[in-house]
Amino acid sequence: MLLFVCLCLFSIINAQDQRSAVYNEAEARELLNLAAAAYAENPLPCLNRTLPSGAKWSIFKWTNNTDCDLFGDTCGFYSIVDETNNLITVVFRGTKTTEQLLTEGLDSSEPKVNFYNIGLNYDVTFTGHSLGAALASLAALRTVLENLRNGNQIKMVNFGQPRVGNVDLAMKHDQLLPYSFRVVHSMDIVPHIPACAKNHSVEQDDSSPCNPDNKKKSYHHGVEIWYPNTMNPGDQYIECLGQPTDEDFSCSDKNTFSLNSYQSYIADHRHYFEVEVPSFGETGCNLNDPEGDYVEQGIFG
Ligand SMILES: *[C@@H]1O[C@H](CO)[C@@H](O)[C@H](O)[C@H]1NC(C)=O
Ligand SMILES: *[C@@H]1O[C@H](CO)[C@@H](O)[C@H](O)[C@H]1NC(C)=O
Ligand SMILES: *[C@@H]1O[C@H](CO)[C@@H](O)[C@H](O)[C@H]1NC(C)=O
Give residue 204's domain range.
Answer: 26-282
Q: Which residue has the higher pLDDT, 120 or 176?
A: 176
- The pLDDT tens digits of the residues spanning 62-102 come to 666 655 554 455 567 888 989 888 899 999 887 654 444 44
- The pLDDT tens digits of the residues spanning 149-170 come to 899 999 999 999 999 999 999 9
Q: Which atom of ligand 3 is nearest to the CA of 199?
A: 1
Q: Is 45 in the pocket of ligand 1 (CB under 6 A)?
A: yes
Angstrom distances, CA of residue 293 to CA of 48, 136, 269: 19, 26, 17
Q: Which residue has the higher pLDDT, 280 or 62?
A: 280
- The pLDDT tens digits of the residues spanning 17-28 come to 446 799 999 999
Quick check: is 70 in a domain? Answer: yes
Residue 132, pLDDT > 50, answer: yes
Mean pLDDT of the chain: 83
**Confidence tier at 15 by pLDDT (50, 70, 90):** very low
Residue 106, pLDDT > 50, answer: no
Quick check: is 289 in a domain? Answer: no
Nearest bound ligand to the CA of residue 212: 3
**202: phi then psi, degrees, rounded to nearest 5:** -115, 135
Q: What is the mean pLDDT of residues 207-218?
A: 95
Nearest bound ligand to the CA of residue 250: 3
How far apart CA 257 and CA 145 sit, in angstroms, is 36
- Within the chain, residue ranges assigned H as helices are 2-16, 25-37, 44-50, 100-104, 131-145, 167-176, 262-270, 277-282
How far apart CA 166 and CA 194 sit, in angstroms, is 10
The number of domains in the chain is 1
CATH code where residue 114 lies: 3.40.50.1820
- The pLDDT tens digits of the residues spanning 222-269 come to 999 999 999 999 999 999 999 999 999 999 999 999 888 888 998 999
**Confidence tier at 16 by pLDDT (50, 70, 90):** very low
Q: What is the pLDDT of residue 31?
A: 98
Decide if 269 is catalytic: yes
Quick check: is 292 in a domain? Answer: no
Residue 108, pLDDT > 50, answer: no
Alpha-carbon radius of gyration of the chain = 19
Quick check: is 4 in a domain? Answer: no
Quick check: is 136 in a domain? Answer: yes
Q: Of 109, 130, 137, 186, which residue is the catalytic one?
A: 130
Prediction pTM value: 0.85
**107: phi then psi, degrees, rounded to nearest 5:** -60, -35
Q: What is the mean pLDDT of residues 53-66?
A: 74
Per mean pLDDT, which range of 134-143, 177-186, 228-237 is the poorest? 134-143
3-state secondary structure of 129: strand
If you count them, how many residues does the chain have? 301
Quick check: is 165 in a domain? Answer: yes
Element (H, E) at 244: none
Nearest CA to ligand 1 atom 5: 48
Angle at 30 between CA 269 and CA 49, to 5 degrees: 110
Q: Which atom of ligand 1 is nearest to the CA of 48?
A: 1
Decide if 130 is catalytic: yes
Q: Is 64 in the pocket of ligand 2 (CB under 6 A)?
A: yes
Residue 283, pLDDT > 60, answer: yes
For 64-94, b/e burial (b = at least 16 CB within 10 A) is eeeebbeeebbbbbbbbbbeeeebbbbbbbb
Q: Is 201 in the pocket of ligand 3 (CB under 6 A)?
A: yes
3-state secondary structure of 62: strand
Q: What is the pLDDT of residue 286?
A: 93
Cβ 224 vs Cβ 252: under 8 Å:
yes
Q: Which residue has the higher pLDDT, 103 or 209?
A: 209
Bridge partners, residue 225, by sequence? 183, 239
Quick check: is 31 in a domain? Answer: yes
The residue to mutate among 48, 58, 80, having the most atoms of ligand 1 within 8 angstroms of its beta carbon, is 48
Which residues lie below 8 Å from residue 146, measured CB to CB, with a gap of 6+?
none
3-state secondary structure of 47: helix
What interhelical angle do 131-145 and 167-176 show, nearest 10?
60
Q: Which atom of ligand 2 is nearest to the CA of 62?
A: 13
Quick check: is 142 in a domain? Answer: yes
Q: Of 69, 73, 188, 268, which residue is the catalytic one?
A: 188
